[in-house]
Amino acid sequence: MRQREESGRTNRVTPHTSRSLWEILRANVFTLFNGIVGGLFVLLLVLGEWRDALFGFSALTNAAVGVVQEYRAKRSLDRLALLSAARATVVRDGVELQIERHRVVGDDLLILRTGDQVPADAGVVEAHGLSVDESMLTGESAPVHKQPGDELLAGSSVVTGSGRAVVSRVGEGSFAARLAGEARAFSLVRSEIRDSINRVLRVVAWALGPVALVVVNGQMQAAGGWQTAIESGAWRPALVGAAGAVIAMVPLGLVLLASVAFTVGMVRLARHGVLAQELPAVEGLARVDLVCFDKTGTLTDGDVEFDAAHELTDDHGWRQVLASFAADEDANITARSLGDAFPGAGVSPTLRIAFSSDRKWSAHVHAAGDPLAGSWVLGAPELVLAGRRDPRSRAALAECAAHATAGLRVLLLARAHDEIAEPAAGAEPLLPAGLRPQVIVTLRERIRPDAAETVAYFRAEGVGLLIISGDDPRTAAAVARRVGIDAPDGFDARDLPDDPAELRTALERHQVFGRVAPAQKRDMVEALRSAGHVVAMTGDGVNDILALKAADIGIAMNTAAPATRAVARLVLLDGRFSRLPVVVAEGRRVIANIERVSKLYLSKTVYSVLIAVGFGALLWGYPFLPRQLSVLDGISIGLPGFVLAFLPNTRRYLPGFLRRTLGFAVPAGAVIAFAMLAIGLAAHLHGATADEARTASSVVLAVLALWVLNVLLRPLDIRRVGLLIVAHLALVLALVIPLVSDFLQWAMPSAAMLWWMSGSALAGIVGLEAVVRWSLRPPRSAGPSRRSSAGSTAPPRTPGTG
């Protein structure tokens, strides 16, 4: 093995779960807007106006904060991903070992069992009912049966059976290496939120040039015309004013805060034992209105205990048969739970047919001459005895139904004297004729202590719950009732219609579905999504993979098979169902706060553009110095924006982020811009000096910008009121401290200007309150119905500012 490691034949692949330090630096520093800001910063330094270049330090701080935050998150998430990494089982020197997947080397002998993910490309040397899901690689959802000599691809997962395989290609040489790298690559969120922000930024970028020309021309004309301004040197303050106008239009902090909010959200989830494997999961969490989950592993803890065996025959050979089912290395969790009640290895059969979640039974075949000769089938009663109408079968099924209604998991062991023929490659085995029920086995499941509380949370939040289980629907319904879900009965998924419209109707009418096949789980999730729901799907079994991939958010438990964890966007590392409320609440907080921060920053962008265009068109001098805007932005937007991004917020996100954001930002920005034009008009009417006009404009702008902050912080509480007090106090100090006042060139306006300032500020506040009322008007269409956990329909919440 050491020689193979030294020769490079290891399974180590360069991890891509997060960006490298260089990628983080490039994404946070080398951006279009940082380039524009850097160019203007250099221009002002060349002009000798270093005091007006403060925005450069602000941009540098923003980039530094983004790099530090993301790098800290990278280290935290990489450590967590390493701790939750899947392992592989290999045979070395005749000893079976469990090792990290990256330690697999060429020519290792792999042991593969149901639920395992193939760690490297390998050739099958032994197969017992082995079938794998290669959909992650090939897109083909149907399991592929494997025989000795067939090839296994890294990244595929064992659906049924077991086998052994010799590793042929490892690491970067495996078929899945490139695909896995692309799938695992860290990327900024490709979502409605980020796409909307990028659309706005593209518009702003295109507008910067024309607006800058309008401002420069206005400044030059205000200084007496281009020729006079150039001859007199007035072109220098003209360029300074243009730089201020351009900087004011750039929403630098918005991109930073959006990225930091997503990243911090992932870190917070990690602290709660939740690994977010993809950033889009954070946005999806905020939008979830329906959670689908399997009963086992969520409402129950996944463990089953033997309850009782109810004999239906005098043939006591069934005890040995159950012992052999329990001892089978390919047995599922349910069969293994029989081991305590029926210890020992039992009697070895001549043929084993592994359990399949599609057919829901397994079988052992004993050759003629054996006391147990014939076929023994263990599985779901109604499937094992499907089509049988004899009195004994009907009585057995009736007794099974009674146990299932009481909330017990029920298995039936039946025997036929005919032997099941070993199926050909790719074919499914068929039940033998003449099956007769031998014994009913009942099992108990333990309800999770936090299940009822979690269900109550989702009901209070208007999030629907749907149980999609492979168990008997009556058993699933009984468990659901025990945790507070109003489910009078369960629906047998075998009766679900194939028509998508009829399927959606059935899903709206029932909450508990049993005997659901893996492909049906996927179809059900897709039908719910087509009906307008945002669906989260939880699961821990290989049979949940297709549904997890189809859901908006796939959530895997810590006990999930490696293949299941690989396709999930979230992994509950401690397997606690009660983590889901924390997960949903964190997603809502992040997205709702990003929306509020976006309104704050884009309001500034709108009024900055309108002020620049308005003053430039009127040939008035730009009413601010860059240094004044830098201080005002820090007081009313910069620091408050950071606080705003991380405040508690439980509002569920709904589609329409850009419409809602611009629906507030455009009219709010227009109100502030008109107030600034009023101050500019007053300055011209009363002959105010440039410093007086700038001071009056700065004060009114600060008051109205802080009122926008007030609006977006509602409903107010102690923390939010404290933030407003700090921001207003900072403004007062900037006005009254002589050193700061002199640096910013404040000048006391005349009495007439003070009246105009008061009137403009008051009119602006009234206008902003009108904007708030208009932006909170009820939408014309309520959109798709949202099923509550009790099965009723609840209208979506009206999107507000808080």
Sign of CA dihedral 561, 562, 563, 569: positive
Q: Show the tokens assigned to 630.
A: 């830098």
| Measured distance CA(504)–CA(523) in Å, rounded | 10
Residue of 116, 121, 133, 294 marked active site: 294
Name the amino acid, one letter, at 169. Answer: R
The answer to whether 530 and 504 are in contact (CB under 8 A) is yes
Residue 705: partners with Cβ closer than 8 Å, 6 or more residues away: 603, 604, 632, 636, 637, 672
Whether the CB-CB separation of 130 and 115 falls below 8 Å is answered with no
First to last CA, the chain: 60
Single-letter code of the amino acid located at 790: A
Identify each DSSP E strand in 367-510 by its residue range.
374-379, 409-416, 436-447, 464-468, 491-492
Q: Using an 8 Å Cβ cutoff, are 391 and 423 in contact? A: no
Measured distance CA(57)–CA(48) in Å, rounded: 16
Q: Which residues contact 777 (CB under 8 A, 6 or more apart)?
A: none
**Annotated catalytic, 450?**
no
Report residue 6 as tokens.
């030294």
- Amino acid identity of residue 683, one-letter, is A
Residues 115, 541 contacting (CB under 8 angstroms): yes
Q: At what angle do helices 657-685 and 690-713 cross, to 10 degrees?
A: 150
Which residue reads 């507070």 in tokens? 484
Q: Which residues contact 475 (CB under 8 A, 6 or more apart)?
A: 295, 404, 405, 407, 408, 409, 410, 490, 514
| C-beta atoms surrounding 477 within 10 Å | 27
Task: For tokens 């083909």, name the residue.
Answer: 140
Rounded to 5 degrees, what are φ and ψ at 191? -150, 175
φ/ψ of 234, rounded to 5, equals -70, -10
- The SS3 call for residue 432 is coil
Separation CA 550–CA 652 (nearest Å): 22
- Cα distance between residue 322 and residue 335, in whole Å: 8
Q: Which residue type, as a one-letter code, is found at position 302?
A: G
> Looking at the DSSP assignment, which residues form a beta bridge with residue 122?
152, 167
Cα–Cα distance for residue pair 466/261, rounded to 1 Å: 30
Nearest residue to 285 (alpha-carbon basis) of 572, 569, 597: 569
Q: What is the DSSP letter of 417?
A: S
Cα torsion for 435, 436, 437, 438, to the nearest 10°? Answer: -110
CB-based contact 577:450 (threshold 8 Å) = yes
DSSP string, 364-406: EEE-TTSTT-EEEEEE-HHHHTTT--SHHHHHHHHHHHHHHHT
Q: What DSSP state is assigned to residue 94?
A: T
The catalytic residues are: 294
